[in-house]
Amino acid sequence: MKHRYLPMTEQDQAEMMQTIGIESMEELFSDIPQSIRYQGTLEMSGALDEHALLRHMRVLAGQNADLDRYASFLGAGIYDHHLPVVINHVISRSEFYTAYTPYQPEISQGELQAIFEFQSFICEITGMAVANASMYDGATALAEAGALASGATKRTELVVSRTIHPEARQILHTMAKGLNLTIVEVGYENGVTNLTELQAAVSDQTAAVIVQSPNFFGCVEDLRAIEPIIHQAKGLFVVGTNPMSLGLLEAPGKLGADIVVGDAQPFGIPSALGGPTCGFFAVSTPLMRRIPGRIVGQTVDRDGKRGFALTLQTREQHIRREKATSNICSNQALLALCASVYLSTLGKAGIQEVSNLNLQKAHYAADFISKRDGLSLAFAAPFFNEFVVKLPDGVTASKLNEELLEDGFIGGYDLGIEYPELAGHMLVAVTEQRSKEEIERFAQRLEASL
């Protein structure tokens, strides 16, 4: 065999071709018109042996601006948080690492208990009655919340704040197109949802108001003021949130939210160049039979011993397809386990402490940066661990970030990419990982680059 990682020998290939009645591999692609095929040879090296390939891949990996060598001030949905070493120790165990779908509860008790513990943690921090598992990420969880709201209210309009993560809104629009839903986007004022505009947008056709707090700009929304606007119209209140902020902020469930979604990435899941992550989805009791994904329930066996089983499944793989409310079909249990180990390791007091460190360091950074010449804060609204910096006229965040990389900093997100009106604004994230020295050097480097 030329390729020891490919289980097919040349004899296997010949037998396969004989069985299906072809003379060459080219015949497998005969249905693809020549006009749309790539003509020529791709610009890449020839075959490499294992040693040369590993060396080549190490060189490529070394070009990444990773979080071990660079101080990151980039957030926008993926954050550089401390990862306790115990997390990798637990998730690397083969019984968790290789487990996938726990269809057979009698042999999947460990996997099912891990999911159950994750659900329990999410219920506690969000203040909701029921939580699920196996959402791909926070963005798809938000889209699923919109679909659930439409199905529960029999309405076809969703009122969405523009302060929600732009990528999550894009996914929401894609989902809405397939379900024939109308998306009404509401603007912002001083970094938070414009309540006057929101009030005017809500009607008796509104299935839900969807907001994010802390929002994409890092600002904390006034959920207590938004809640009556939608509930008076008999719609649902959907809140996306950064779970790390809930170590300090009031749980959305206690502020009237019907559905709370988000991404568990801040809880022990590495940024890993953007994913994978783990979404969470929690609802009030009346909505629990519509919740997508998996729900693990606690029960007892015939001997009275505690056990776990899948329950209340809304997936089309589990029930009649026409009754399914979701097509979420994967299992994020390994990443949910990361979050569970993280939360178990830190405990309630530890989460509050880490959350407070994020708040204090971000506010120290904002104050220090705003005192530099040419730099100022764009919004005065309260914020958690992200804030928007206004750059001088003519200075772009993307160009600035190129210069910051040369000094060992991963700069903030260029808001002009998704918000044309905020060209020349940078979204800066500060987590517990950043030291006072790093914050000050980052601010000074920003000022020097203007």
Summarised one tens digit per residue, pLDDT across range 156-170 is: 999 999 999 999 999
> Which tens digits make up the pLDDT trace of 374-397?
999 999 999 999 999 999 998 999
Closest residue by Cα to residue 343 from 116, 87, 163, 42: 87
In sequence order, the β-bridge partners of residue 413 are: 427
Beta pairing, strands 386-390 & 425-429: antiparallel
pTM over 0.95: no
- Amino acid letter, 382: P
Beta pairing, strands 71-72 & 409-410: parallel
Measure the CA–CA gap between 450 and 447, rounded to whole angstroms.
6
Q: What is the pLDDT of residue 1?
A: 47
Tell how far CA 95 is from the center of its chain: 25
Q: What is the dihedral of CA 307, 312, 315, 321, to 10 degrees?
A: 130
In sequence order, the β-bridge partners of residue 297 are: 309
Q: What is the pLDDT of residue 77?
A: 96
Closest residue by Cα to residue 245 from 358, 381, 157: 358
> Which tens digits make up the pLDDT trace of 30-68?
999 999 998 888 888 788 888 999 999 999 998 888 898
Kindly state the greatest CA–CA separation across the chain.
Answer: 75
Measure the CA–CA gap between 81 and 269, rounded to whole angstroms.
9
> Which tens digits make up the pLDDT trace of 255-287?
999 999 999 999 999 998 888 999 999 999 999
Q: What is the DSSP-derived secondary structure letter of residue 52? A: H
Q: Give the domains, in start order, of the chain with CATH numbers.
A: 71-83+347-449 (3.90.1150.10), 85-341 (3.40.640.10)
Which range has the top average pLDDT, 9-18, 110-119, 373-382?
373-382
Q: What is the DSSP-derived secondary structure letter of residue 39? A: P
pLDDT greater at residue 4 or residue 416: 416
Helices (H), 154-185: 166-179
Q: What is the pLDDT of residue 171?
A: 97
Q: What is the pLDDT of residue 47?
A: 82
Instruction: Give Cβ neighbours of residue 83 (< 8 Å, ≥ 6 apart).
Output: 268, 270, 342
For the chain, give the mean pLDDT: 92
